[in-house]
Chain A
Amino acid sequence: MKIIIDGKAYQCEKGEYVLQVARRNNIYIPTLCHSDALSGLGSCRLCVVEVVDRGRAKVVTSCIFPITSEVEVVTNSTKIQKIRKDLLVLLQARCPENEEINKLAKSFGVEEERVNRFKLDKTENCVICGLCVKACEEMGTGAISTIDRGVFKAISTPYGDPSPQCIGCAVCANVCPTNAIPVIDKDGEREIWGKKFKLQKCEECGKEFATEDHVKFAFAKAGVKSEKILCEECRRKSSLDKMKNAFPKVEL
């Protein structure tokens, strides 16, 4: 079937999300909490577009709005622009010193005076998009979650204590769009979410490349064992050596 985006028609399948179709056709719709791998959150509302269905226009989030009929989509009307700008005013008021939010806010033309009217917490970086929680859930560890409700909502481990489930893989920090999760690797240790982990040293070269808990988790999940725990580079060196020595005279 087809839908019209900003006046032009595009092919799509029933059930596809508007954002998917837009990206496929090089139409820009800003996002913050969207990730193809961890989809469906719909919490930032930045990807809103207007959908005209049977003469009535409604504002929906393109990341989770399924196409069920041949509708018309407007991605950048004045109404939408205003919504996005207001959202960024609020986000910047929440995280005034966050670099990623600042970049976004600037691109939408957010006025500083509006933000400065409010009480600002210069230490806040989290926008509670929920990506970290979902990623940890997908990992199978589920060490963090949202706590409390309303304006008090926050991301935390149970009771704020070091979580027994956390393996220090830092996938949460990887998916976080605002770099809000500090991961401190220092002196052979990693600290994340208030828990300290021993970093795995490569048995060959001594390089620290992951937490010991993550390595254990990985091997257990894969169902394999290894005599020596090596970093990627040393494993490649070992491959190279094996290839050199295995078939000295064989022509490949």
Chain B
Amino acid sequence: MSKMKTIYICCGTGCIAKNSKIVLAEFNKKLEELGVSANVEGKEEEKATGKMKPTGCNGICEKGPVVKIEPDGITYFKVKAEDVEEIITKTIINGEVIDKLLYFEPSIKKRVRHFKDSEFLKRQHKVALRHIGEVDPTSIEDYIELGGFEALKKAVLQMKPAEVLKEVTDSGLRGRGGAGFPTGRKWNTAASIDTDVKYVVCNGDEGDPGAFMDRSIMESDPYSVVEGMTIGAYTIGGTQGFAYIRDEYGLAIENMQGAINTARERGLLGKNILGTGFSFDIEIVRGGGAFVCGESTALLSSIEGKVGEPRAKYIHTTEVGLWGQPTALNNVETWANIPIIVTKGGSWYGSLGTMEKSKGTKAFSLVGKVKNTGLVEVPMGTTLREIIFDIGGGVLNNRPFKAVQIGGPSGGCLPEDHLDIPVDYESLVKADSMMGSGGMIVMDDRTCIVDVTRYYLNFLAEESCGKCVPCREGVKRMLEIVTDICEGNGREGDIEELLEISTMVRQAALCGLGKSAPNPVIASIRYFRDEFEEHIKNKRCRAGVCKPLTTFIINDEKCKGCSLCKKNCPVNCITGEIKKPHEIDIDKCVRCGNCINMCKFDAVKVK
């Protein structure tokens, strides 16, 4: 019986940043040295051998580099090069578990052997992210082994385009890029137009700050996107495809290009796919560094070689799109879902989740002040509370939860009393936020909502295309007002003016970016109006972020005199003896916040 073990090591961007490639190299070296490498021919069947498999992101980026050993079913976290020899000698050769590298599951306060047993994974349902962490993104064999390209074969060899369209429509899949337009309806319009040239486009210009679902899919499971686009082309009659990927995503571009090249070599892309006469190819177009090019009409403009500026969508791009032809443009995650919908059927996908109008699952990048930072995928209808606390492990350092920002610059910050909202398109819009592409940013009490609003408006001020008056001038003036508020120059009537401008921009802006630009303002004022008013009337920032409105003081009764704050003050403005209450010299204080962040006794407060 062969004791061949596969050692999966995450080589997604997050883990690479934590030196997973160095760990991979160390593994290869040590496996060779210790005679355990499976890459050497003629090994005796009985002896344990290890084969490396670099994969994409497992989702728990916080705890990377992640190493999985199969068939043992063991997952190790935060693996360093120094741990490699021990892993090989103990786990690979002797089948022993190294406790200290296992995942600590907080709900049972014990370490678990396989990551599968963690609450983090148990509560998720990976559909779009199904292969990530399981396949080597550069290996078409891995992809095929897990059932890859079965969907394409089924579609082009056994189904008619109208039948594929029915499956996609029945699935209830809605655009995962943010707006949530029904995919089946979009494809139906494109399919119904009688013309020789039609285009299929993948929107890989993920630009929301904090969002990296699309990056992970393109880096770690590029074949699913290629297969999805090809099935889409078969359905609508597409003749050429474009994958528009932001230039900053170097690894994603590399892996997607590799997948395209290999698929073409195998006759699964290009001319005469699977010998059926159906031809379709994909070209990668790199973005030029503009957030607005994630907007579909601006993206098409960019592909055409023009400046990335949106146009009015009174005539849909499914009718008049790229170079005037019908175009089906979808987000990366949407495309990644297509193969499994075809394989398992639309009604299977539609049975996932608990929401009437939002079917299936959604991938989120859970980031910010949360313990388990990373990538998660949950069925629609999962509550925010479950995602942040059960899967995410709760707020970092157990600080009080303040808000969760969803939808990037097009979304809003939702407060604690909205944590039981089920995640779906309609509920979030009703709450003055938006699903967006899936960025979910957790905020604690040390986050100032007014400052966050200013951050998003500043982002939009630079990234807006600037063509239409409402967005360009509206965002500029809203930014001016909110900046004034943050600097202590807010005045009576500012909140009303913000809401007035917001209403107008929402109604009159030319494109989706503009129309949703006021969302951060509207949501922030709706849920945190008192914080705005406090900034304006009391000139106080309760989170201690807006420096002109912050004064830190030490509570005598709570202070234990441990001097931790004093030691970490960059300007030495804290005085006090050991075991006696300390004091901050307000005049010297630069409001860096070190003291309040570090105090373990909650003794530093914002006055």
Contact = CB atoms under 8 A, between A and B. Distances in A.
Q: Do chains A and B touch in the complex (CB under 8 A)?
A: yes
Interface of A: 42-46, 48, 59-61, 64-66, 79, 82-83, 86-87, 90-91, 93-94, 114, 117-119, 127-128, 130, 146, 148-153
A65, A79, A150, A153: most-surrounded residue (chain B CB, <10 A): A150
A83 B473 contact: no
B510 interface: yes
B321 to A, nearest CB: 16
Secondary structure at the A interface, as helix, strand, loop or mixed, is mixed
A45 B501 contact: no
Contacts of A148: 466
A245 B236 CA distance: 74
A45 B470 contact: yes
Interface string B442-477: 000000000000000000111111111110111111
B508 interface: yes
Interface residues of B, number: 39
A87 B470 contact: yes
B508 A153 contact: no
A43 B473 contact: no
Nearest to A44: B469
B463 A150 contact: yes
B504 A150 contact: no
Contacts of A42: 311-312, 468, 510
A92 to B, nearest CB: 10
Contacts of A118: 477, 480
A79 B507 CA distance: 9
Contact of B508 (A59, A64, A119, A150): A59
Contacts of A146: 307, 466-467
Contacts, number: 104
A82 B51 CA distance: 68
A86 B504 contact: yes
Contacts of A65: 312, 314
B74 interface: no
A29 to B, nearest CB: 14
Contacts of B315: 66
Contact of A82 (B311, B470, B472, B504): B504
Contacts of B460: 150
Contact of A117 (B473, B497, B510): B497
Contacts of A94: 473
B194 to A, nearest CB: 18
A82 B501 CA distance: 10
A53 to B, nearest CB: 11
Interface in B290-314: 290, 292, 307, 311-312, 314
A54 B466 CA distance: 32
A124 to B, nearest CB: 11
A94 B480 CA distance: 13
Interface in B467-516: 467-470, 472-477, 479-481, 491, 493-494, 497, 500-501, 503-504, 507-510
Contacts of B462: 149-152
Nearest to A145: B307
B504 A43 contact: no
B466 A45 contact: no
A86 B499 CA distance: 11
Given A149-B290, A150-B466, A153-B467, 7 more contacts: A45-B468, A65-B314, A82-B503, A86-B500, A87-B470, A118-B477, A127-B469
A148 B464 CA distance: 10
A150 B468 CA distance: 10
A83 B504 contact: yes
Contacts of B503: 82, 86
Given A45-B508, A91-B473, A118-B477, A66 B314 contact: yes
A149 to B, nearest CB: 5
B429 to A, nearest CB: 15
A33 B461 CA distance: 22
Nearest to A33: B469
A111 to B, nearest CB: 11
A130 to B, nearest CB: 7
A149 B480 contact: no
A151 B466 contact: yes
Contacts of B497: 114, 117
Contacts of B494: 117
Nearest to A50: B507
B463 A149 contact: yes
Nearest to B509: A45
Nearest to A119: B480
30 contacts: A42-B311, A42-B312, A43-B510, A45-B468, A45-B469, A59-B508, A65-B312, A65-B314, A66-B315, A82-B503, A86-B501, A87-B469, A87-B508, A90-B470, A90-B473, A90-B477, A91-B473, A93-B473, A93-B477, A118-B480, A127-B469, A130-B467, A146-B307, A149-B292, A149-B463, A150-B460, A150-B466, A151-B464, A153-B466, A153-B472
